[in-house]
Amino acid sequence: RDAISAPSAASGGIPDPTDEYLRCASFVPCLLDKPKPILVVIDLNGTLLYRPHKRNAFTFVERPLAGAFLQRCVDRHHVVIWSSARPDNVRRMCEQLLPAAYMARVVAVWGRDRFGLSADDYNRRTQCYKRLTRLWEDPVVGASHPLAAAQGAIWDQANTVLIDDSAEKARSEPHNAVTLPEFAGDLAENPQVLPLVEEYLDTLAMQTDVSTYIRVKPFTMR
């Protein structure tokens, strides 16, 4: 396969966190009295599943407990699925991972078309960056905050978590990233990863600003 190339300037190039982002993440973590809504942005390949043949979306191996984990995230948080795979493939993978009733409750399902890639970069092996600002600026995603209508609440770095197996994809907002060991089809993985992620998400929901907590205590397999 071709080597992965950096995105061109037309695709936004390689991002860095802004000074304001780093400043906001630099504060001391502060615990809430009760859990708050969080937006959980979840990757597919390498995170929840393994595709031995990248062009075949119908054949994949689920990470242990992936379906149950995803359902619990939908039950407890607000979920966006964001993958660098092509939209049709993303949809097919989601349909196999989640029952229709749960899919209907997912805030948004984003594929390769949501990275702002140029046509050339879209069609080659380009490093994709998940700029969370794209989500925060999206009206459909924004309207999903349970307090958006009543209080004007928004999703931002204080309440958004990106779950991915690639730390590089989170380069623009590194302290919002929960980076997992890549799943490559090992059904006997030990310890199982997703229950630990679930516990960590419960901890993050109790933080005033998740980015301050992740900066100090990033997710580990302990």
For residues 138, 179, 195 and 214, what is the CA-based torsion angle, rounded to 10 degrees? Answer: -80
Of the chain, the percentage scoring pLDDT greater than 70 comes to: 98
Write the CA distances from 10 to 6, 115, 132, integer angstroms. 11, 11, 18
Structure tokens at 190: 């030990």
From CA 161, how far away is CA 177, in angstroms rounded?
6
Res. 3 pLDDT band, cuts 50 70 90: confident
Q: Find all residues with CB under 8 Å of 181, minimum gap 6, and list them.
A: 165, 189, 193, 221
For residues 94, 70, 4 and 2, what is the CA-based torsion angle, rounded to 10 degrees? Answer: -40
The secondary structure of 31-95 as a DSSP string is: B-SS----EEEE--BTTTEE-SSTT-TT--EEPTTHHHHHHHHHHHSEEEEE-SS-HHHHHHHHH
Of the chain, the percentage scoring pLDDT greater than 90 comes to: 93
Taking Cα atoms as reference points, which of 191, 159, 211 lies closest to residue 29?
211
Partners of 82 in beta bridges: 110
For residues 33-57, one letter each, b for 16 or more C-beta atoms within 10 angstroms of the residue's C-beta and e for the rest, the string is eeebbbbbbbbbbbbbbbbeeeeeb
| Whole-number pLDDT of residue 54 | 66
| Whole-number pLDDT of residue 21 | 99
Q: pLDDT tens-digit profile of 124-151?
A: 999 999 999 999 999 999 999 999 999 9
pLDDT at 56 over 90: no
Average pLDDT, the chain: 95
Domain 36-216: give its CATH code.
3.40.50.1000
